[in-house]
A and B are shown apart, each in its own frame.
Chain A
Amino acid sequence: ERVMTQSPATLSVSLGERATLSCRASQSVSTNLAWYQQKPGQAPRLLIYGASTRATGIPARFSGSGSGTEFTLTISSLQSEDFAVYYCQQYNNWPPLTFGGGTKVEIK
């Protein structure tokens, strides 16, 4: 099973600043990685798949990068609606699909 580790657990960022979230895989997952955003009381929403491809309707301020075991989600200029929990998920080796533990982006 691929273990996904996200850091930091909590990221405090000011409006308009850049946020950089990390996700590490216990073994290579190539570029078979997705990112999701989850707001309180809501279902997760797909942001990125294939490590760097934005899903339909996702603003350009969200970008993903990385391959192998190290991945990054960058939010170039944080908007108020971006404060949420972000999860990475690998789909290179399954079952099972595995998710990271999440990074909470909060207002500084």
Chain B
Amino acid sequence: QVQLQESGPGLVRPSETLSLICTVSGGSISSYYLTWVRQPPGKGLEWIGYVYSNNYTNYNPSLMSRVSMSIDTSKSQFSLRLSSVTAADTAVYYCARGDGGSYPSYYLDVWGKGTTVTVSS
């Protein structure tokens, strides 16, 4: 079955850029909302945004000025970059697959295990 796996540095310095990659195995990445969600310690879930297979992106307005996402279909990977990080960006970051049926259908049916990113000097 489809599996997602996040990878990237676990520690990022304040003001620098957080970069994560999600590798998809066992299935296609076409026609899905390839999504990033984060969860600060002890808190709830926050949608960061998605990249589609045609490289179209859509971001949370609260993070839009600092976020970029891209996709590499040849490697079955998609990525997240979050610039100018602060301690408030410390969280578990999940990649997930969003069922991209007819709009507005968008629920997250497959998730990666998550990766912890700490912002600290």
Where the two chains meet, the residues of A that have a C-beta atom closer than 8 Å to any C-beta of B are 32, 34, 36, 42-46, 49, 55, 87, 89, 91-102
A43 touches B60 (CB 8 A): no
A94 touches B111 (CB 8 A): no
B111 touches A99 (CB 8 A): no
Q: Is the interface of A mostly helix, strand, loop or mixed?
A: loop
Where the two chains meet, the residues of B that have a C-beta atom closer than 8 Å to any C-beta of A are 44-47, 49, 58-62, 94, 96, 99, 104-109, 111-114
B44 touches A101 (CB 8 A): yes
With A42-B113, A43-B113 known to touch, is A95 a contact of B107 (CB < 8 Å)?
no
> A30: shortest Cβ distance to chain B, in Å?
9
Residue of B nearest to A33 (CB): B107
B114: chain A residues at CB < 8 Å are 43
Task: Specify which of B58, B106, B111 is in contact with A44 (CB 8 Å cutoff).
Answer: B111
B61 touches A99 (CB 8 A): no
B61 touches A96 (CB 8 A): yes
With A43-B114, A87-B45, A95-B49 known to touch, is A55 a contact of B60 (CB < 8 Å)?
no
A101: chain B residues at CB < 8 Å are 44
Task: Specify which of A43, A45, A94, A99 is in contact with B44 (CB 8 Å cutoff).
Answer: A99
A-B contact pairs, 11 of them (CB 8 A): A32-B105, A34-B107, A44-B108, A44-B111, A45-B111, A46-B107, A46-B109, A91-B106, A96-B62, A97-B47, A99-B45
A42: chain B residues at CB < 8 Å are 113
A96 touches B45 (CB 8 A): no
With A96-B62, A98-B47, A100-B44 known to touch, is A43 a contact of B111 (CB < 8 Å)?
yes
With A43-B94, A43-B113, A43-B114 known to touch, is A94 a contact of B106 (CB < 8 Å)?
yes
Tell me the complex Cα distance, A27–B62, Å. Answer: 20
Residue of A nearest to B59 (CB): A95
B104 touches A92 (CB 8 A): yes
B109: chain A residues at CB < 8 Å are 46, 49, 55
A34: chain B residues at CB < 8 Å are 107-108
